[in-house]
Amino acid sequence: MTGAPAPTPADLAATTAQLGRPVRAVRAVAHRCGCGAPDVVQTEPVLPDGTPFPTLYYLTCPRATGAVSTLESEGLMREMAARLAVDADLADAYRRAHRAYLDEREALGHVPHIAGVSAGGMPDRVKCLHVLVAHALAAGHGVNPLGDEALAILAERGIAPATGWGAEGSCVAGDRS
């Protein structure tokens, strides 16, 4: 993902509309929704004002964030955290996801303030399912096991990026094309 091209002005406008605020430090579109709009962006490890920003992959599609929020509200993060504590294979895979996340961000530049800090609770906790799903979408299946798991649960419910996250039309606010 590190070598991805910069986002286009249309990508930045779509992401701004999705978030309802101006985007910050977007480096690339890491994944696209089935409607063609960005649903995950890759951000720089330092914001324009100099603030370190550990969240490398940011889920932007409002349909995706809503679906993931539903999983969080259903207690999926607690279940995942409990399994991490007893399943050594899952914990090892999650630590590898953490390392992959750090390596990808470090390739963009070393930021001492966030060295060793990934996002989403990795490597020991499950703190933000949105980050884990964004990482899974950006990195591809098999890198982040908990992000992959959340995506599989959503797919079972008919909610997936290929289907526009379960709805027709654009996921960009105000765009009904």
Q: What pLDDT digit, counting tens, does each position of 63-115 carry?
A: 999 999 999 999 999 999 999 999 999 999 999 999 999 999 999 999 999 99
Contact 167, 121 (CB under 8 A): no
Q: In what order do the strands lie in the sheet with 38-43?
A: 26-32, 38-43, 57-59
CA torsion 102-137-130-161 (nearest 10°) is 170
CA–CA separation, 158 vs 14, rounded Å? 24
Report the interhelical angle of 129-139 vs 88-108 (nearest 10°).
70
CA–CA gap between residue 71 and residue 103 (Å, rounded): 28
Model's pTM, two decimal places? 0.94
Q: Where are the domains of the chain?
A: 9-163
Query: Is residue 172 over pLDDT 90?
Result: no
